[in-house]
Structure 1
Amino acid sequence: MLGIRERGTAGGAAGKARGGTAERGARAARERPAGRWLWGAGTVLLVLAVHSNWHLASAAWLFPVFLLRYARLRPAWRGLPRVGYALGLAQLAWLASTGLVFVPSVVAVFAVLTVVQTLPFVADRLVAARSGAVWSTLVFPVVLVCGEYLFTLLAGFGDYGVLGFTQHGFLPLVQLASVTGVYGVSFVVAWTASVAHWAWGRGFRWREIRRGALVWAGVLALVLGAGGVRLVAFAPTTTTVRVAGVSAGHPAVRAGERALHGAGTELWRPRNLVRADPRRVRAALAPVTDDLVAATDREARAGARIVVWPETQARVLAPDRKRLLARVAAIARKRQVYVDTAFALHTPRPPYVRNVAALVTPEGKVARTYDKTHPTPMEPMTPGPGEVPVTGSPYGRLATVICYDADFPALMRQAADRGAGLLMVPANDWAGFESLHAQRAVLRSVEYGYAMVRQSVHGVATAVDHQGRVRAAADYFTADRQTLVAEVPVQPRTDTLYSRTGDLFALLCAGGTLLVVALGVRGRRSAAGVPAPGAGRP
């Protein structure tokens, strides 16, 4: 009898096991099509959300919802790598659209960024999934902001990959950057997606999600309400200064290119240019510099008090530098304007070129010369010393950085620390990248509380006030002559909270990430039956 009972018990257990296996198989079969659909929808939205010329701001709020759900429904060992694959596809699409896919160092950096961007999904799957409490919705945004901050701090590639830049047109939300930096905007977008995913997992049953939904709605209302009040109650003053950004017209550019090609050598290489016949080189470079000087005089006569040139469109041999600046100084004295000239200065020693900006004052003097601090990976030149120059003027304190420099928050903070009210940014972009820097300038101005005029040849030139309003824009590719004219508000310098406290919010998220890691380790110990340190002691 005992043997019969044992066999019966074993058979029952085997039957239950088979039943459990079948049930799990049926559940997996039901989930598999849903998982594929979730991954596909999340990936498409992710590609649309990546900050690019085609991005949709709304997609940035939505794509994490689908990928978080996908990661929860699939086994971690299978789902999380596929989420990382989706993120990699989005980065590859961005690199291809901007032409940077052909720069190996950039591809390597963005491969690291893909890994960093996967970590918030890992944290949600392995830590937040263990708890149904509303606090678990904070895991994803906290780890996301920590990753963005550490990548910016350590990768040496600026603050690319930050989700908050996709919201450059949502001004009530963008005002949060004056308190937390762009990282706070990223947090709000990611937390919204996390809350939506949390509610989805509970079937959107109001009784279960009410408390969490009300907390999220209250915080979002506070952020947007405060941003709206800031825009209305603390709007820029009506006192403005007329600023003009000038680029050489297409006819002058084509004339210069023909002259360079006619010289018979590869004069686009700095080494060849400085070794060629100086007379032929001067004749080839003259059409662009002459056009920029003429445009400066034209806009000054029309009423501009500050004129900004683009980055490196003008090219000058070192012996001819003083002559060019003397021509500009004559206009500055006559018209009583500030001219922020910018040019590639070709020198006889390696690396044969400097990327510089020189501010000429209404007294006809060169107030300072600035060398670009952060050359791009495509620019083989020696970086400048990293000191942002600031000069006093009747229109507030004027500062200058060059193009890519504006992607480094620590450098841009120097201008705020030195009381800059207007930041002038000579820039040079390219087709496929023409809008991105112009949009990023919106949040940078809000972060530090200064206006910005960014004159970008081969891109979109913009003038932005300290609250992120675009005062004027000019697209190089849609005009024969790119000229930006804007009335930029002049106001007493007011520091933002972010300019005072720095990356405190991001550091808090880094601390929160350490807590998430501790919770994850504790959860794994509990699942394995391993007592926590100190457990069982009297």
Structure 2
Amino acid sequence: MLGIRERRGAGAGEGGGQDPGRERGKRQRTAGARPAGRWLWGAGAALLIPAVHSNWHLAAAAWLFPVFLLRYARLRPARHGLLRVGYALGLAQLAWLVSTGMVFVPSVLAVFAGLAVVQTLPFVADRLVAARSGAVWSTLVFPAVLVCGEYLFTRLAGFGDYGALGFTQHGFLPLVQLASVTGVYGVSFVVAWTASVAHWAWQRGFRWREIRRGVVVWAGVLAVVLGAGGVRLVAFAPTTKTVRVAGISAGRAAVRAGERALHTAGTELWRPRNLVRADPRRVRAALAPVADDLVAATDREARAGARIVVWPETQARVLAADRERLLARVAGIARKRQVYVDTAFALYTPRPPHVRNVAALVTPEGKVAWTYDKTHPTPMEPMMPGRGEVPVTGSPYGRLATVICYDADFPALMRRAADRGAGLILVPANDWAGFESLHAQRAVFRSVEYGYAMVRQSVHGVATAVDHQGRVRGSADYFTADRQTLVAEVPVQPRTGTLYSRTGDLFALLCAGGTLLVVALGVRGRRSVAGVPAAGGGRR
């Protein structure tokens, strides 16, 4: 029965069969694990805060924090250790909510409390299943369950693909290329697996003879991933044929003039219901400065050589009765300068909820190629959602498509543009201080996943132009300029698609299957442990 006692020791902590005596193990945990556990938890929690994807995140922290929390969870009694790990994950989510200013939105608080629970599950699986085995395969438990949790959160929570660990690696382009095969989930897996292997080696005292096989396998896989990413960047680099794209925002003077006019007309006009019922002349006077400035900026950038101009989300605000007049002004510029203009505006209508979030593409022929309503309004936007039909149209610069801001956080919606052969996707956006960089960084992954370039013009945030391999071709920070203008030469790339755009979330589904296997092993293990006394009786 020695093997049974060894297995018990490994399941209780980090024992791995090295201390089969129950009393001795108990003394070790009491005398040694608690002091060690304190600093392990502190180190993991301290690294976890900058590991959450935020304006101030550190890419390296995402690789490191799980090592310490995995170690802590193994050393402590399961209930106590895992609760403390969940507590650390909850604190990290709270810090993120505070930093982004979303801590005051009740629905968001509830969703991210659920995310913290989901993020705790990989540590639970490692503690209760992987700890029973010293085999190399046990290092796969943590990353497989982590990716499964990310995927299920994306599919079920209705909050986009937030919480994915891989987004923190947006600047590591050789690794990011993996997203063209697996989506962001593959990058999350590699980062989490690295932490799991590091913990596995630490548990064995980094004794090379014991860890050699596992480390060689991990290093080989990582070398293949990074090597293939490097080859993709070099051998399949974007074409040198480019199109000049300009993203424009209204200048601060026009914005201030509009705010003064609104204040003079009456503060009640900030409410859409009141605005559509007010005197149209007062409303037009209040909304005109920003719209006029955007029209003038469109003409200016077109004269400077831009062939595509993108407006930001809802900075322009238009009464339904004035929509055609605004588009006619833009159409005159589009015909004269032979440019495509993706206008975007808040459209105020007589029907509740009285406002639509719209993008309308005006072609060089002066026609409106599409009118698109935002599919996924944020919890802070009382707007009627669109039907989710991503518009695509042909152009000399490849097939153009559009979504609006938050829409780009939903991979399934973005796949629809890829399915229709889009080569360049235009994204009017509107962010805020505390969130200004996050969407810009996520755009890197969307472009790599689906193989199209993206121009994201974000007022109150960082505007970016990204090619199909995730290279940032241009950026403009709203908060560092009086007039935010993004100008970039974007490669005109015939879209050939990516493996991810064809197979979808196959990798994430495989991880979900692996999670079911982990659950089965956990149930079997608990039954086996429960049956030991009856089988062994007094023979021990």
* Bin for the TM-score computed over the shorter chain: over 0.9
Percent identity between the two aligned chains: 90
Aligned counterparts of 2:25 and 2:175: Cα–Cα separation in 1: 46
Pick from 74, 82, 85 the counterpart of residue 83 of structure 1: 85
Which residue pairs with 1:478 in the alignment? 480
**Residues 22, 234 of structure 1: alpha-carbon distance in 2 compared, 3 angstrom cutoff:** closer
Helix, strand or coil at the partner of 2:347: strand
Which residue pairs with 1:14 in the alignment? none
Q: Kindly indicate whether the alpha-carbon contact (under 8 Å) linking 2:179 and 2:187 is maintained by their aligned counterparts in 1.
A: yes
Q: What amino acid does structure 1 have at the position aligned with 2:445?
A: L
Pick from 187, 192, 197 the counterpart of residue 195 of structure 1: 197
Which residue pairs with 1:186 in the alignment? 188
Q: What amino acid does structure 2 have at the position aligned with 1:185?
A: V
Which residue pairs with 1:31 in the alignment? 33
Which residue pairs with 1:246 in the alignment? 248
Aligned counterparts of 1:64 and 1:341: Cα–Cα separation in 2: 44
Q: For 1:392-426, what per-residue CA distance to the aligned partner results, in whole angstroms no more than 9, with x for missing partners? A: 00000000000000000000000000000000000
**Residues 303, 76 of structure 1: alpha-carbon distance in 2 compared, 3 angstrom cutoff:** same
Q: What amino acid does structure 1 have at the position aligned with 2:476?
A: A
Displacement after TM superposition at 1:355 (Å): 0.2
Q: Kindly indicate whether the alpha-carbon contact (under 8 Å) linking 1:151 and 1:159 is maintained by their aligned counterparts in 2.
A: yes
Q: What amino acid does structure 1 have at the position aligned with 2:252?
A: H
Q: For 1:246-290, what per-residue CA distance to the aligned partner results, in whole angstroms no more than 9, with x for missing partners? A: 000001000100110111232211111111111111011010000
Q: For 1:163-216, what per-residue CA distance to the aligned partner results, in whole angstroms no more than 9, with x for missing partners? A: 000000000000000000000000000000000000000000000000000000
Aligned counterparts of 1:178 and 1:146: Cα–Cα separation in 2: 18
Which residue pairs with 1:136 in the alignment? 138
Is 1:224 aligned with 2:226?
Answer: yes
* TM-score normalised by structure 2 residue count: 0.94
Helix, strand or coil at the partner of 1:24: helix
Q: What amino acid does structure 2 have at the position aligned with 1:267?
A: L
Which residue pairs with 1:120 in the alignment? 122
Which residue pairs with 2:385 in the alignment? 383
Displacement after TM superposition at 1:30 (Å): 1.5
Is 1:329 aligned with 2:331?
Answer: yes
Q: What amino acid does structure 2 have at the position aligned with 1:41?
A: A
Q: Kindly indicate whether the alpha-carbon contact (under 8 Å) linking 1:265 and 1:272 is maintained by their aligned counterparts in 2.
A: no
Q: For 1:82-119, what per-residue CA distance to the aligned partner results, in whole angstroms no more than 9, with x for missing partners? A: 00000000000000011110000000000110110000
Displacement after TM superposition at 1:27 (Å): 3.9
Which residue pairs with 1:11 in the alignment? none
Is 1:53 aligned with 2:61?
Answer: no
Helix, strand or coil at the partner of 1:100: coil
* TM-score normalised by structure 1 residue count: 0.94
**Residues 72, 290 of structure 1: alpha-carbon distance in 2 compared, 3 angstrom cutoff:** same
Which residue pairs with 1:95 in the alignment? 97
Q: Kindly indicate whether the alpha-carbon contact (under 8 Å) linking 1:52 and 1:436 is maintained by their aligned counterparts in 2.
A: yes
Name structure 1 gaps, 5 residues minimum.
1-18, 532-538
Which of these two proteins has the greater Rg computed from alpha carbons?
Answer: 1
Say how many residue pairs are matched. Answer: 514
Report the RMSD for the aligned CA atoms in angstroms: 1.3
**Residues 361, 390 of structure 1: alpha-carbon distance in 2 compared, 3 angstrom cutoff:** same
Aligned counterparts of 2:152 and 2:317: Cα–Cα separation in 1: 37
**Residues 86, 212 of structure 1: alpha-carbon distance in 2 compared, 3 angstrom cutoff:** same
Q: Kindly indicate whether the alpha-carbon contact (under 8 Å) linking 1:176 and 1:227 is maintained by their aligned counterparts in 2.
A: yes
Helix, strand or coil at the partner of 1:213: helix
Q: What amino acid does structure 1 have at the position aligned with 2:505?
A: D
Q: Kindly indicate whether the alpha-carbon contact (under 8 Å) linking 1:145 and 1:506 is maintained by their aligned counterparts in 2.
A: yes
**Residues 20, 247 of structure 1: alpha-carbon distance in 2 compared, 3 angstrom cutoff:** closer
Pick from 507, 529, 535 the counterpart of residue 509 of structure 2: 507
**Residues 88, 23 of structure 1: alpha-carbon distance in 2 compared, 3 angstrom cutoff:** closer
Q: Kindly indicate whether the alpha-carbon contact (under 8 Å) linking 2:29 and 2:75 is maintained by their aligned counterparts in 1.
A: no
Q: Kindly indicate whether the alpha-carbon contact (under 8 Å) linking 2:40 and 2:72 is maintained by their aligned counterparts in 1.
A: yes
Pick from 276, 288, 291 the counterpart of residue 289 of structure 1: 291
Which residue pairs with 1:156 in the alignment? 158
Aligned counterparts of 1:39 and 1:24: Cα–Cα separation in 2: 20
Displacement after TM superposition at 1:530 (Å): 7.3
Q: Kindly indicate whether the alpha-carbon contact (under 8 Å) linking 2:344 and 2:358 is maintained by their aligned counterparts in 1.
A: yes
